[in-house]
Structure 1
Amino acid sequence: MNGREIPVVERETGAVLIAGPTASGKSALALEIAERLAGHRAATVINADSMQVYGELRILTARPSPEEEGRVPHRLYGHVPIRTPYSVGRWLQDVAAALRETWAGGGIPIVVGGTGLYFKALTEGLSPVPDIPDAVRASVRGRLDAEGAEALHAELAARDPASAGRISPRDPHRIVRALEVLEATGRPLSDWQKEPAGSPLLDPRSARRLVLWPDRDWLRARIDARFGAMLEAGVLDEVRAVMDMDLEPDLPGYRAHGLRPLIAHLRGEITLEEAAERTRAETRQYAKRQFTWFRHQMADWERLAPGEGLADVLVAS
């Protein structure tokens, strides 16, 4: 590519999209690109991580620090209370507003995160699953409390085997979601997901689409080191504050890696080292699932190894 700017900055509705596994340096790269573009065109960093939206979980979800957020505009970080269920549909509404405002101000959005479904919905559209009535939602969640996730998963396997095959029996949020759709619409979630998606918010041809693709050993070391830094930054105090809120454990925010093990430690059920090892293991498993998603769902995205000088290469390319 020729020229001195990222190609998409020349398009009125363009964007830079940066995906990648957890702990791969996505946020730092987005910030560096935004600062290097400042002399050409203002940039806004927009979050595409489903856990970094929660206000109470800055340290545990490795959100940018207040100092980093102050260096360039950041959007959709910590803007949702953890008590509030948040979905890809809600994120699409929020990101649409953030994109419009960035473009209206003459800026370039840099959308960054590790939630592959957010990027897929942004560039390909979202299947038209209807809203779930509050009564149905309350009924299914009441059954979760009474019967447990594995029992509901067994029911899902009988009624919607395609969805059950993709959902772990230990994933209560997704089990509940699939059963809610069944109860509310009479159709399996897997059927709804086959429906034609709505129009995407962003034409992928107008964006520079990047996936960070680090060496696995390097990433494992980063994951382990990052948890140590979280402890030093006060993550236990952050988790204690969430624990004291007495939240429903099926809330999406409870899926933040490390939250349950650290709560178990604070309750005296396991040692800190056991909680640390569970957190590291959860995070490594999540990174493995992210690699799989990116390989299959983002096969045509540009893969780049993270490293020093990457921002220079991207801005100059």
Structure 2
Amino acid sequence: MEKVPALLSLCMETVIKEIIYGDHFLHNIFELPLDLIDCLLMRLPPLALQKLQEDMPSGQCRGDESINAFSRDGRKRKRYGDFNTVWRTLFYSRWPEGVAQIQSMEQLTMRPIKGSETDYNDDWQQLYWEAHLQNCLDEAAEIALLPSFDGCIGEITIPDILMKSIGYEVEMGYKSSEVSKLSYHCRNFGRYARKLRLQNVLCVAETCELLRDSRLQSVVLRRIKSKEHVNGACRLLNLNSHTLLSLEFVHCRLSSHAINAIFNSLYTEGIQTHGIQYLSIKASSILENNAVTIPSGVLSFLLSGRYTFYAFNAIIAS
């Protein structure tokens, strides 16, 4: 005989759907008894947890902060539990391999990057949405690379498997056409991005606009070759020049003019030094009129940085 769901489970499912797909009764959720709030937190999918945390009344807990409330027996207890612990559980349930997939460059090179938030970061909400956004960008790049693609990057539809991983069933959503677009994920989760890797097809002005709220510390650029991609990369790097610490080029083919433009974009206006601490150019080629000289932009970059580790595996060809 099929097991009948408990009344509590049915109620929880109804509340979760209301959080994800509705906007009218969120304030009522905060009036639930504390025990039910704690139980609900452990069942919320990522998108519901995000909405609940964002809409929490002023003065209540944020992130892993909490305020104390007195229970009936007079003992203090944490109100609404520990959000950061829930985010950590959600992260490992989706990516069992842990944070290895988003390791910072200082871990890969065994050299510490000073000032980086990522090396000892325990903000699991930030780590979760950063990894999710990277998954979305990777999927979008695969679609944008298809010869048949002729549209806006932001209009690309996120695959159902990624939508379900954050708790959103497309067929149930009233705003599925909006929530399923890459633009929604960049707009809502871009502010959590600290490290991203971007294929050339995403290095365009539109992507820079989509990621305008990001504060990138580490960027990996792949297969940058055309003028459009160079311009997009320059704009993205310049927008994040005040936070960028690590930069890597992989399988790129750049002219001396392009490489000069890219390195010049790393300077913050009015400041003659940059903040890059790790620079890597792998399996790439730089086209230079004089193959025995280093492009002026690269030379200036090398002379104006501090605490920088360089790893070059590039061919300078005429």
Q: TM-score range by the shorter chain?
A: under 0.3
* Bigger CA radius of gyration: 2
Query: Larger % of helix: which?
Result: 1
TM-score norm. by structure 1 comes to 0.27
Instruction: Work out which structure has the larger RCO, using CA pairs closer than 8 Å and 6 or more positions apart in sequence.
Output: 1
Query: Larger % of strand: which?
Result: 2
